[in-house]
Amino acid sequence: MKLVKFLALVLWSSPLVFSQQIIPEPVAQQKALGEFVLTADTRIHIPKGNAEVRKIAEFLAMTLAIPTGVKLPVLETPKIGKHINFKLESTPFKVVGQEEGYSLDITPKHIDIKAQTPAGLFYGVQSLIQLFPKQVEGKKYQRMVWKIPSSSVIDYPRYAWRGIMLDVSRHFFPKEYIKSFIDQLARYKFNTFHWHLTDDQGWRIEIKSYPKLTSVGAWRVPRVGNWWERELPQEGEKPTYGGFYTQEDIKEIVAYAQSKYIQILPEIDVPGHSLAILTAYPELSCAGGNKFQVNAGWKFYRDVENSLCPSNEKVYEFLDKVFGEVTELFPHPYIHIGGDECYKGYWEKSAECQALMKREGLKNTVELQSYFVKRVEKILSSKGKKLIGWDEILEGGLAPEATVMSWRGDKGGIEAAKQNHAVVMTPNTFAYLDLYQGEPTAEPMTYDLLRLKRVYNFEPTPASVSSSLILGGQGNLWTESIPNSRHVEYMMYPRAWALSEVLWSKKEKRNWDYFITKMENQFLRMDEASISYSRSVYDPLVRTMKEGTNLKIEMLSEIKGLDLYYTFDGTNPDAFSPKYQSKLDIPKNASFLKIQSYRGGKPIGQRLSIPVKSLYDRAGRYNADFGF
């Protein structure tokens, strides 16, 4: 009898028996008997006199109202009948005192959401929404029975910093889309929206002290195509492409994000990546004068200056006023100052910079950038803000109180932590969401590869440093190759779901095979919500390697149970074509390798058609450990 009870417990505890699942994976989730059915008699009960909790409850009621046709009343009266109950605990309880933790108990008669803070209640609501049928994501009424399996959830995050960065400089995204982007971050329990507001290709935030930053710096001539190949502006072309956020827009978006328990980290990228600034105010450069260009190649900056001049006192007056206005708009304790990829060639040619270096005892222009960053830190400190920057701010000496965002792998983060500085891990090798996520010849153009499973295997805390110094991590979505919101979503999902689980869930709770089932459930929900996503995970990684004088082809699948069929003869493969079993030779005179993945006897993913020339060109690439 005890064995039967034990087996029943294991069965009900197994995540694979859940008809609905949660991303990111909770700390603990256990199924119970029965189900909760939403009806017109259901009520939401909240504590008396708590306006913040009322807003969370009204958010839940509004989310359910359109698809279910039921507008749940939010009441402070005693609980009666079928209800969804919100409770703030005054003392630590079973979510071990975590500020963002919650418990969720679903029974046939009631749903209880408990937390010590409103943020915890909000995350409990986000999990509850994911447990409703997929149609809850839709924007129209669905006549159906709305029910949730009974279960209990205990949950709290692993990391305090769980972020996504969106670059709005390379391409501008309007205010209403930014709000919907924030909605999606909240659904998967991200709590930091890193807003890359300025770069060479556009200045996107109104600064009243310097109006030309937006009247001039927010606009450029329109271009399409690969960003590293774009034609420079021609004489007489009008700069009509761009846009910016007014300060009223910013206030509205910040307040909206706060209502979703998301802080917005603004980034003003200096001293490099400042072409938009120098186009508007050329007197802040060393050489003086620029035309606003759209190319962003490294060689390009040897011809067109894009770095602020660190020996020019007007630069620090400018930054003092800019950061003063930014500080008033963003309550986040940090301001991100960029600090990356600063071309210093114009500093080396500047007599004023050389004189400054001599006065300050600076050995080189790397130390000159450190001088600049330290002065900026003092400006921010005077305004009650802390400085955070990309890992290049380590070079030449780290500012005393700076926090490092490590993007060039984890090396910079490890170095900063060993100097006892706080770190946010966002390595390009695991967290750059603008990279190819599938076969490059079948994907929209970009410049490198990051498969979903590699994102899922990201470990933000290196073994060699104190975990207390790793604040968390984030994914970065640079938009040189992402011109519209649909493509933003395509590049975000499903990789952002994997990242949410890395940053929220306990490491030992990660389960790749189970994550795939949850991913496929989310695909259905995204279809209901009309949100774009990539299915590239179903396509194999095709890599080539030399064995002696021969070139061999290898195909690797991220997902178990896929069969790969291929042809070299120009025909479209199907289940009657050769099945991939082991490394292949390229037949003489073949022009294309075509591949179709199957699962359960049915095609899945896209049909790949890879030029043989591409296979030769990539020899030795994509051969690193991509997490397979």
Q: Tell me the C-alpha to C-alpha distance, in Å, between residue 147 and each of 19, 125, 131.
A: 11, 15, 9
Q: Is the dihedral of CA 615, 621, 626, 628 positive or negative?
A: positive
CB atoms within 10 A of CB 179: 14
> Do the bridges between strand 584-585 and strand 550-556 make them parallel or antiparallel, or are there none, so unpaired?
antiparallel
Determine the distance from the C-alpha atom of residue 605 to the mean position of all C-alpha atoms in its chain, rounded to a whole number: 24
Catalytic, out of 52, 340, 341, 563: 341
227 contact partners, CB below 8 Å, separation of at least 6: 170, 294, 295, 296, 480, 481
3-class secondary-structure state, position 567? strand
Paired tokens of 557? 């699948």
Q: How does DSSP assign 86-100, residue by residue?
A: EEE-SS--TTTT-TT
Report the alpha-carbon distance of residue 407 to residue 417 in Å, rounded: 14
Nearest to 86 by CA among 129, 120, 109: 120
Catalytic, out of 25, 112, 199, 558: 199
H-helix or E-strand containing 389?
strand 386-390
Q: Tell me the C-alpha to C-alpha distance, in Å, between residue 249 and each of 168, 243, 252.
A: 14, 12, 5
278 contact partners, CB below 8 Å, separation of at least 6: 284, 285, 290, 305, 306, 308
Report the alpha-carbon distance of residue 304 to residue 179 in Å, rounded: 35
| Residue that has been written with the tokens 């800019």 in this structure | 322
Paired tokens of 2? 């005890």
b vs e for 507-536, b when ≥16 Cβ sit within 10 Å of the residue's Cβ? Answer: eebbbeebbbebbebbbebbebbebbbbbb
**Catalytic-residue membership of 200:** no
| Residue that has been written with the tokens 């195909």 in this structure | 555
Catalytic, out of 273, 332, 336, 421: 273
Determine the distance from the C-alpha atom of residue 600 to the mean position of all C-alpha atoms in its chain, rounded to a whole number: 33
Helices 365-382/351-360 angle, 10° precision:
80
CA angle, 603 as apex, 599 and 609 as ends, to 5°? 120
**Catalytic-residue membership of 341:** yes
75 contact partners, CB below 8 Å, separation of at least 6: 43, 44, 45, 46
H-helix or E-strand containing 365?
helix 365-382
Catalytic positions, written as ranges: 199, 273, 341
